Amino acid sequence: MNSTKAAANPSNQEEAKRNLVSISPFFIVKELKASIAYYVERLGFQLDFTGPADGPYYAGVSRDGIGIMLKAILPDVLPCPNHTRHEWARWDAYIYTLDPDALFDEFSQRGVSFVKQLSFIDDGLWGFELTDADGYVLAFFQLRNSNK
């Protein structure tokens, strides 16, 4: 069973065997404070940590059990989202969601700009795509039969 189907349909036996719980993409960002603000204010994430204390250049944000790491390296080391290197590889992270419709409505009310509106973003994937403050494309979706 692939990871998306497993996340959507966990069985008790599978849950008992699971050891891996989550993964957090690590995005290089231009300005740490601006990136944190976007995730907190626009996407409803919480700030989990920043570091180091004497001059933060990395942070972790999370929401509903998913996390994203953010790191500002040097002024000349800029974000490099996938779509800037390969048009056909537009997603930097995809996030399985139980209710993409409600999340789309929430994000719309928070003023998020979307790359793709709520629709079938790919065969059998109902959801939407957005870019964060640094141009990374996040796809939020659930598996859904397009014939319904």
CATH number at residue 55: 3.10.180.10
Residue 48 lies in a domain: yes
Q: Do 61 and 24 form a contact (C-beta atoms < 8 A)?
A: no
**Cβ contacts of 109 within 8 Å, gap of 6 or more:** none
For residue 108, tell me if it sits in a domain. yes
Let me know if residue 56 belongs to a domain.
yes
Q: Is the pLDDT of residue 3 over 90?
A: no
**Domain of 138?**
23-143
* Whole-number pLDDT of residue 1: 43
- Distance, in Å, from the CA atom of 132 to the CA atom of 39, rounded to the nearest integer, reads 8
Answer yes or no: is pLDDT of 28 > 70.
yes
In a domain, 10, yes or no: no
22 pLDDT band, cuts 50/70/90, is confident
Number of domains the chain is built from: 1
Return mean pLDDT, the chain.
Answer: 89
- Domain-embedded: residue 137: yes
Is residue 13 situated within a structural domain? no
Average of per-residue pLDDT across 98-113: 96
96 band by pLDDT with thresholds 50, 70 and 90: very high
Three-state DSSP string of 69-95:
EEECCCCCCCCCCHHHHCCCCCCCEEE
The C-alpha atoms of residue 126 and residue 107 are separated, in whole angstroms, by 16
**Residue 7 maps to a domain:** no
Are 105 and 127 in contact, with CB atoms under 8 Å apart?
no
Query: Is 14 within the bounds of a domain?
Result: no
pLDDT, residue 87, reads 84
- d(CA 43, CA 23) in angstroms, rounded, equals 18
Lateral strand order in the sheet of 93-96: 93-96, 137-143, 125-131, 114-122
Check whether 147 has a pLDDT greater than 60: yes
